[in-house]
Chain A
Amino acid sequence: MIPLEWYLILAAALFCVGGYGVLSRRNAIAVLMGIELMLNAVNINLVAFWRYLEPAGATGQAFALFVYVVAAAEASVGLALTIAIWRTRSTIALEDIDLLRG
């Protein structure tokens, strides 16, 4: 059986890939995709911990399900915002979206 550590390493790697995408991409949709990666990395952790440490309970699965729901909601809101910005400003480049600049 594959040891738990491998899952954790995979999840960390995925989380880092996602985080890098979020911090470095100019496109807003790419940033949203990075966020999705980070959320899935967390899900891997949750499921892995459930399977190896608490196989009797359902806590890890339930949390994973909640994360999916949150990810879906986040994706829909984020995409809607992106479309709205596109319609008003004809761009989704994050450098150009700086209305809150002091």
Chain B
Amino acid sequence: MEILNLAWLIPLFPALAFVAVALFTHRSRALSHWMTIGGIAIAFLFAQIVFWRAVTLPVGGGEHAFESAIAPWVVAGAERLGIGVYVDPATAVMLFMVPLVCMMIFIYSVGYMNFGTDEVDPRYSRFFCYLSLFAMGMLGMVVFNNLLAFFIFWEIMGTCSYLLIGFWYDKSYPDPDRITPKEAGLKAFIVTKIGDLFFMLGLALLYAQVGSLAYRDVFNPETLDQLAHTPFLGASAATWVALLLFGGTVGKSAQFPLHVWLPDAMEGPTPVSALIHAATMVSAGVFLVVRTFPIFQVANASVLAVGGIPFVAVIGAFTAIFSSLMAVAQDDVKGVLAFSTISQLGYMVAALGIGAYVAGVFHLITHAFFKALLFLGSGSVIHGMEHGHHIIHEHAHDEHEPHGNADEHERHEEREGHAHEEHLGWFNPNDMKNMGGLAKRMPRTFWTFLIGGLALSGFPLFTAGFWSKDEILAQAYELAPAVFWTLAVAAGITAFYTMRQICLTFVGEPRTEAADHAPESVATMTVPLIVLAAFALSLGWVGIPEQFPVIGGIVPNWFHHFVISTIEAGETEHAVRVAGHLAQDSHGFVWLPLLTSVVFALGGLAVGWLVYGRNPLKAGQADPVEAAMGDVRLGWLYRAMANRFYFDEVYQTLFVRPSIWLANAFDSFDYGKDGGHGVVDGTVMLVGRFGRFASEISDWLDSNLLDGLVNLAGRAGVVLSNSFNAFDLSVIDGAVNSVADIVEGGGRSIRPIQTGKVQNYLLLASFAVLALIATFFVILFLQV
């Protein structure tokens, strides 16, 4: 039995853990998190088995995609959809990454949810329950063999995202403009649903054209050829399918213009941000493009290309640079990472858009590790800040008023006196302006965060991010120079804001007492950080280009050979193009993209260090970039960057307000305002009144007319039956009685004959005989 058949077991165990926690173990916290971790650990083991098996299968041709049908699944009339597992290199590398990252984050979550607060969250078990469900969704999406299952698991993840962003749904902030977790969850759900709608339309179109959603049926060369040559609404069907599916990607991977939900999704617990909104779910959008890449290859890209560059790449590249700009001006430690995630997803989308399949997948994998690491690091920092705040708070309390009431409590907090805190009226542990100098307080967090940051910046040679980003840039240089330059600039900005974040958080002197008292996090949190840091450093070495100077070829470019085999399976124009590019590559190493990448990465880091690291920010000091831009009359630009280029406001004006207005209009149409009745409500009321009136009339008719009729009928019945009674008594009874009387009278009159004396009878009989004899003789005589 082929072991890859067991791939469907991978999502099963998190699903079982979800059911078990939801139904049985939710009362026990320890049991709940052990169930969750156990589920993902078993999934991890299976995934490793499947991964190594897939890696050791013979490379080349279409043989690399393993498929096995499990069962017929949806049967509706003549239409039947089967379900099975599908393991190709893209699946395999996802199976390497997803359970590993999930497991690290689950372990981290145990520390995160227990540490730093006195009382454990009452929804503790629910949190792990959702995590298990999410892991099931992500793994299910990866292993199954058709796009319908893909979509279903994709939606399961969307639901988990909604539930987990709004996990602290009762939380509210003093600042009414700040989005609450509940609103953020709704926003994320609704915005991604816009993309999902396109995805579903794409699936419907694809099914209508092909009659199947199984990868094997859709991605075979004849089908693709047919799709590419079927005209549909002015373009080929393949083009429309690709565009609609890309709509799903735009929503899920937070690409422009649906990127607005991801920064607000940071309202959820930090492990959730790391797991769902950095490492796995948002990259599911990219994975959709990876999965349906053959369709994108045959799609007629020129229909929506901008300046000869495919639409997908334009969106990706624009998102990459545009959100990296916004990241520069964020003060929230998770906000920076959120925009950074959008930007990095833009990288992947751009890579896939220009056809750099392998590079896109590679960056997807490495990014998952280092971005999860960064998020978990920031979670550790936030926890430290909260804990530090708590410590001074307790300290002040004990010192002055052991039994102080709420007012004094407030006063102590004010006495701590930091501009930022007073401004908001409460302590914001996420604000980097409140941090500083945490490197000494939290060394393990600092070093791992530094590694993650360097990987994100693409620090040369040592980090995974460098190799994946470099591969994207190298291919972009060959295939689309405009995309290359955009991404290179974005890489520079990325390095800059990463250094800014590291400096603001960890370097210099603590800017608040909370930062001064922040403790290092517990081992359950730091150990996952260290494991992820190891991967953030080393993972790039599986994909070193063989033409790379000096160290190229020492380690074979395993990743490239493994993943490229998927593309080689489909003989399409684009694959030839990629292959041609590779052939060109082999002539010699192209230095420019590498140099550009290194210069931008190191340059960004250096500028970041000069601005924020050399002279660390003092408490209450304005951001140097903000000040500098203000000096050259670009303050408006900084404010725009800090406010996310006002996209939320624009959407609020363009979509949300009209929707609310429309809803209100419908409401007044329906229900009316101020005691009046709207049209619908009024109509309903009118109908009601009419009904009441009609029932009153019928009530009157009932009591007067119908009752009379009924009574009349009743009386007539009584009269009739009385007459029948009289008839019965007189006629029928009379007849019966008179018959009886006659019979009785007759009996009485002939009764004396019966004397009971036997001799009388005999005598009578003798006389009768004699009479008969006499009669005989008389007749005889008369005849004679």
Contacts and interface: CB of A to CB of B under 8 A. Distances in A.
B757 interface: yes
Interface of B: 751-759, 762-763, 766
Contact of A98 (B752, B757, B762): B757
Contact of A101 (B755, B763, B766): B755
A15 B751 CA distance: 32
Interface in A18-67: 19, 22-24, 31
Contact of B758 (A19, A24, A97, A102): A97
B193 to A, nearest CB: 109
Contacts of A84: none
A88 B758 CA distance: 18
Interface in A53-101: 94-95, 97-101
A8 B751 CA distance: 41
Contact of A23 (B752, B754, B762): B762
Nearest to B755: A101
Contacts of B758: 94, 97
Contacts of B757: 94-95, 97-98, 101
Nearest to A24: B759
B766 A102 contact: no
Given A22-B759, A23-B759, A100 B766 contact: no
A100 B756 contact: yes
A102 B762 contact: no
A23 B763 contact: yes
Given A19-B766, A23-B766, A102 B754 contact: yes
Contacts, number: 32
A20 to B, nearest CB: 10
Q: Is the interface of A mostly helix, strand, loop or mixed?
A: loop
A33 to B, nearest CB: 14
Given A19-B766, A23-B766, A100 B759 contact: no
Q: Among the interface residues B752, B758, B763, which one has the most CB atoms of the partner chain A within 10 A? A: B758
11 contacts: A19-B766, A22-B759, A22-B762, A23-B759, A23-B766, A24-B759, A95-B757, A101-B756, A102-B752, A102-B753, A102-B755
Contacts of A97: 756-758
Contacts of B751: 102
Contacts of B766: 19, 23
B754 A101 contact: yes
A98 B757 CA distance: 5
Contacts of B762: 22-23
Contacts of B753: 102
Given A19-B766, A23-B766, A99 B756 contact: yes
A102 B747 CA distance: 9
Most chain A beta-carbon neighbours within 10 Å: one of B752, B754, B756: B756
A98 B759 contact: no
Q: Which size bracket describes the interface of A in this complex?
A: 10 to 19
Contacts of B755: 98, 101-102
A71 B482 CA distance: 150
A97 B758 CA distance: 8
Nearest to A101: B756
Nearest to A99: B756
Contacts of A101: 754-757
A47 B663 CA distance: 134
A94 B763 CA distance: 14
Contacts of A100: 754, 756
List of 10 A-B pairs having minimum Cβ-Cβ separation, nearest first = A102-B754, A101-B756, A98-B756, A102-B751, A100-B756, A98-B757, A23-B763, A101-B755, A23-B759, A94-B759
Given A22-B762, A95-B757, A100-B754, 10 more contacts: A22-B759, A23-B762, A23-B766, A97-B756, A97-B757, A98-B757, A100-B756, A101-B756, A101-B757, A102-B752
Contacts of A31: 759
A101 B751 CA distance: 8
Contacts of A99: 756
A21 to B, nearest CB: 11
A95 B757 CA distance: 6
B687 to A, nearest CB: 88
A19 B767 CA distance: 12
Contacts of A95: 757
A21 B7 CA distance: 126
A9 B663 CA distance: 139
Nearest to A98: B756
Nearest to B747: A102
A37 to B, nearest CB: 14
Contacts of A22: 759, 762
Contacts of B759: 22-24, 31, 94
A100 B756 CA distance: 4
B691 to A, nearest CB: 83
A74 to B, nearest CB: 14
A98 to B, nearest CB: 3
Contacts of A19: 766
A99 B762 CA distance: 16
Most buried by A among B755, B759, B762, B763: B759
B577 to A, nearest CB: 134
Contacts of A24: 759
A93 to B, nearest CB: 10
Contacts of A102: 751-756
A22 B760 CA distance: 11
A36 to B, nearest CB: 15
Contacts of B756: 97-102
A55 B302 CA distance: 148
B161 to A, nearest CB: 112
A86 to B, nearest CB: 16
Contacts of B763: 23
A101 B757 CA distance: 7
